[in-house]
Amino acid sequence: MGRQKSTELSGVKEIARRANVSIATVDRVIHNRKGVSEATRQKISTIIAEMGFQPNILASRLASKKVNHFAVLIPKSTETDYWESTIKGVERAHQEIKQYGIVLDKYFYDLNHKKSFSDAAKLLLKKHCDGVLLAPSFIREATDFIDDCQSRAIPYVFINSDIPGKDSLCYIGPHLYKSGHQAAQLISFGLKAGKVLIVNISKEIDSYHHLLRKEEGFRAYFDNNRGAIKMIKIDIRDTDQRSIEDALDGVMSEHQGVDAIFVTNSRVRSVANYLVKRSLENKILIGYDFLQENVKYLKQGVIDFLIGQKPEEQGYVSLMMLFQHIVMGVAMPKVNYMPIDIITRENYEFYKN
């Protein structure tokens, strides 16, 4: 047909969905069994070709009963349901590929404790592993883990954020710089002059942290589109609500007349809560992620914009990338950026992570 084969492999279930047939019907076509009309067979065959699906390899895989162990190392979902969405995407992908001998092991760490990352990483490396899906929230600890993976020839995929200069199989997540740039543009529509507060809320903020790359993009927009905008910044490393409120009280007292606030992660809900308590809801507020608590303040008009990063899709695509590379031998693009989605009070009902 002259079409370039897609490198995306979504499995038998995805083929069935696109063809609007049962999984059993797709299986019959793949294995050339009877009981399928010629029109349906042709339709399914066309979809298989478009997707770059390789049924012969997968049929051999099923027959060989070979097993590959994949591992995921991401934060716990105790503080935010962002990572709950991510693991939901990983599990959805695993349901599609587990029949091909894919075993998935899950390891979780606490975003408030670096040692929990190192402990989880050590447990992971004690077991046989053929590929790792990694969210490198703690740069130094993640770098040590990556070095161990590379010494053992274990391929790894970065999800949600990356570490520059490391030889990952690929990165799946937002374009950090451009998402910050986008946030600045949104603020500029409603603010031509005044003070903007940049808020980083994280236990870990160092020179390569993903929040700082969003901040870099945010600042660059105003550097290139100069106006009477003054930027103020605060890094809040104690992430409980009381500590966040105390820090914001301090910066608001020192810098009177803040007109807009950019929160560089999903903890924008904590800032929204603060603004409600202090009766400061008239300020422009922008942050990240389509999460229940954030949407609550979006509906109330306290948060003006949320930038979506599709955590569930990140999880799904990341595991599929490992599968394609290790089982199918497909070369991976080094970066797979998620779309920069702008979520508002008017469109949130139609958005999916």
From the CB of residue 178, how many other CB atoms can be counted at a distance below 10 Å? 16
pLDDT at 53: 67
For the stretch 104-146, pLDDT in tens is 999 999 988 889 999 999 999 999 999 999 999 898 999 999 9
The 10s digit of each residue's pLDDT in 265-297 is: 999 999 999 999 999 999 999 999 999 999 999
Residues 6+ apart with CB under 8 A from 150: 167
Q: Give the pLDDT of residue 55.
A: 63
Going by DSSP bridges, is the β-strand pair 305-308/341-343 parallel, antiparallel, or unpaired?
antiparallel
Q: What is the pLDDT of residue 9?
A: 40
Full set of structural domains in the chain with CATH: 11-64 (1.10.260.40), 68-174+311-338 (3.40.50.2300), 176-308 (3.40.50.2300)
Below-50 pLDDT ranges, the chain: 1-9
Q: What is the pLDDT of residue 192?
A: 85
pLDDT of residue 45: 79
pLDDT for position 332 = 76
Is 308 strand, coil or helix? strand
- The rounded distance, in Å, linking the Cα atoms of 225 and 186 is 13
Tell me the C-alpha distance between 268 and 51, whole Å: 38
3-state DSSP: the chain helix, strand, coil percent, rounded to 5?
50, 20, 35
**What per-residue confidence (pLDDT) applies to 226?**
67
C-alpha separations of 96 from 76, 103, 141, 264, 319 in Å: 24, 12, 32, 34, 10
User: 265 near 199, Cβ under 8 Å?
Assistant: no
What is the separation of C-alpha 342 from the centre of its chain, rounded to a whole number of angstroms?
15
Which amino acid is residue 218, in one-letter code? F
pLDDT score for 6: 33
